[in-house]
A and B are shown apart, each in its own frame.
Chain A
């Protein structure tokens, strides 16, 4: 009886995971296809390029999830029912994954070798021919570089967005996230565990069965002769005559390790390292020059977009516009305080991630065996969304640790842990790529000068890893926000609600009690915050990473 039960649970979990993966695949594929045309248009028209860049750069670093309640209300109101919820979920995932894919495609098309474009033109390939033989293939390595991260991101967001409570109404779609949530809130731990295991197994299967082969295939056709850089390793001068026999034995062992390593290892790394290096290294052609009329048209379009957005906001909020202002007047300071608290958490998590990433990466880059063991594990961990196993980690924090530390400290710790777990992998990866692509000659010089570990870290490893780390920061901060969102407010565990003081917690709370006025007021604040940040922080940081830290010729062979 029990056995049958387990199998039917497993089957349900399997089907639900398929549904969830279907959503992810659909949004990613749609994003990729749309990106070809948008990227092409942006690379060819100066006007479109400006608009495209300012929009994607702003949205790339947005914690989209925080706007989800608003999006959901919009879709449910205007379309309604299950389809409305389904579309809202798909839309959310879409906005979570497309930006970096689109930027990648644009940059790949923009930096396509001039001679190849000339050749395509001379061969009279026509519009579709040029797409088929040139523009789509050049984007492939960048798409591959982003698709793994997008897959992980999409899973993270989809698992939390499949079920949401708005006031007294619960909206949910069929999927593994909704199932696990339902099981945990019922206290059905066996089923939840089976569901989670199914998810883990299937994530691993997709990773090894679909994504790795795709990345391997895509990267092989890259125009970049440096592609193999990720495989070059630090060679350590160990062979003296005295240890020659020992070395021979070691070599045999090493060869075995390398064989395994090459078979299962760093696709993620190779792909993302390609993406990061492409971003940092390939000197982009200058933006297309705008004529005067185009410049005026550009400004016109931008103003038009702003007016349209403002109008639609005003329109959807018309009835509640005054209450929102009143709400802001009454609680504005509290919102800002909470926003500050969350940014403090984000800063702490980011710094901790960087601090833990440094020794891990240094070990991996200098010790091949550590690398061979750790990297595949990290890669798989990165793809399993924290949001799915959150209830499981939450248990000790709400029971045992809550008694020892007090509930506040315990929950705070939980939030930190979850945010860290949703951030750390990406920081580690970005930094790994940076350290790994430091040229071997520089390591040799360091060896030659007999620099100690600390000196090598300070003079070589950390500065070498900087550009890649900084370039990845905007999106890792986005992931941190995602982690905060799911952990600051936990509903339905042991039939209780656990929350800390924080911006996303309050938004979740407002969502749960159906306080639309407060929710919209908070979204407004967050929106302004995001735009300011994009203008004053991320763009500058990107430019800094690109220009100041760009080690001209240093990240080559």
Chain B
């Protein structure tokens, strides 16, 4: 978490290998990330779906670099992931025909289809209405961390305190220019988490005060 303009997106793009850091390097399982790799998949705030491709074709794109797979196999895999995110039957819809929540599901399916180790999410719920976001948040944990999934961790950028406490194990708060780590908070609540718990509210208060500090730096 960080105030707007701190460089969260920039950091995420560096981690993804889309941008070179001036100093330092990104290590993934001991290896340096030098450029985009299928081991890292990104989910964007504006979904980044190709408007001229159907939902299924969008997911298939993630498998394009796998030259070992035939077209049919790619299509089957893509279909499977669309079903996993609850969009079975919407294969032939174009992004403009889908609601915001459905678009984000397609984006999640596309990211998962690449079989990444780490999932990067840049404010994935920010463009959704509150109710849709709540529903998707409740589901995303099971979508991403099931037995078939290769994902080991998610790095998520968010502005929304409740979302952060509901989903994270560890919260890193950035602040300043250039950004520094202001604080690290571990969230030790059992899942599924209830937003009305007293402990949940305590975490909210703590993060809120930390963010206020970060705003001042």
Contact = CB atoms under 8 A, between A and B. Distances in A.
A113 interface: yes
Interface stretch (B45-53, B75-83, B166-174): B45-53
Contacts of A125: 61, 64-65
B44 A118 contact: yes
A252 B63 CA distance: 51
A122 B61 contact: no
Contact of B44 (A115, A123, A140): A115
B7 interface: no
A441 to B, nearest CB: 23
On chain B, which size bracket covers the interface? 20 to 34
B46 A133 contact: no
A126 B65 CA distance: 8
Contact of A113 (B38, B46, B53): B46
Interface in B36-68: 36-38, 40-42, 44-48, 50-53, 61-62, 64-65
A430 B69 CA distance: 50
Interface string A68-82: 000000000000000
Given A118-B16, A118-B18, A129-B64, A124 B46 contact: no
A366 B42 CA distance: 47
B73 to A, nearest CB: 17
Contacts of B38: 124
Contact of B45 (A115, A123, A126): A115
B52 A122 contact: no
A223 B50 CA distance: 8
A116 to B, nearest CB: 5
Interface in B1-35: 13, 16, 18
A137 B37 CA distance: 24
Nearest to A126: B65
Contacts of A122: 16, 18, 36, 40-42, 114
A134 interface: yes
A124 B64 contact: yes
A121 B13 CA distance: 11
B61 A123 contact: yes
Contact of A115 (B36, B46, B110): B46
A119 interface: yes
A133 B53 contact: yes
A119 B64 contact: no
A133 B50 contact: yes
A222 interface: yes
Nearest to B43: A119
Contact of B48 (A118, A126, A137, A222): A118
A223 B51 contact: yes
Interface in B109-158: 110, 114
Contacts of A129: 64
A400 interface: no
A171 B40 CA distance: 63
Interface string A235-278: 00000000000000000000000000000000000000000000
A118 B50 CA distance: 12
A220 to B, nearest CB: 8
B120 to A, nearest CB: 9
Contacts of A113: 46, 48
A134 B46 CA distance: 16
Contacts of B94: 221
A140 B51 CA distance: 12
A557 to B, nearest CB: 15
Contact of A123 (B46, B47, B114): B114
A428 B37 CA distance: 51
A137 B52 contact: yes
B52 A221 contact: yes
Contacts of B41: 122
Q: Name the residue in A116, A122, A140 with the highest tally of chain B Cβ atoms < 10 Å from its Cβ.
A: A122
A122 B44 CA distance: 11
B40 A116 contact: no
A113 to B, nearest CB: 7
Interface string A181-225: 000000000000000000000000000000000000000011100
A134 B50 contact: yes
B65 A121 contact: no
Interface string A117-152: 011011111100100011001001000000000000
Contacts of A119: 42, 44, 48, 50
B36 A121 contact: yes
A115 B42 CA distance: 10
A121 B18 contact: yes
Interface in A458-487: none
A148 to B, nearest CB: 20
A115 B18 CA distance: 11
B65 A123 contact: yes
A124 B36 contact: yes
A192 to B, nearest CB: 45
Contacts of B62: 123
A422 to B, nearest CB: 35
A330 to B, nearest CB: 60
Contacts of A115: 44-48
Contacts of B61: 123, 125, 133
B144 to A, nearest CB: 17
Contacts of A121: 18, 36
B117 to A, nearest CB: 14
B18 to A, nearest CB: 5
A317 B186 CA distance: 80
A243 B50 CA distance: 48
Nearest to B52: A221
19 contacts: A113-B48, A115-B44, A119-B42, A119-B50, A121-B36, A122-B40, A123-B61, A123-B114, A124-B38, A124-B64, A124-B65, A125-B61, A125-B65, A129-B64, A133-B53, A133-B61, A137-B50, A140-B52, A221-B94
Interface of B: 13, 16, 18, 36-38, 40-42, 44-48, 50-53, 61-62, 64-65, 94, 110, 114
Given A124-B64, A125-B64, 12 more contacts: A119-B50, A122-B36, A122-B41, A122-B114, A123-B62, A123-B114, A124-B38, A125-B61, A126-B65, A129-B64, A133-B61, A137-B51
Shortest 9 CB-CB contacts between residues of A and residues of B? A221-B52, A115-B48, A124-B65, A119-B48, A115-B44, A137-B52, A122-B36, A121-B36, A223-B51
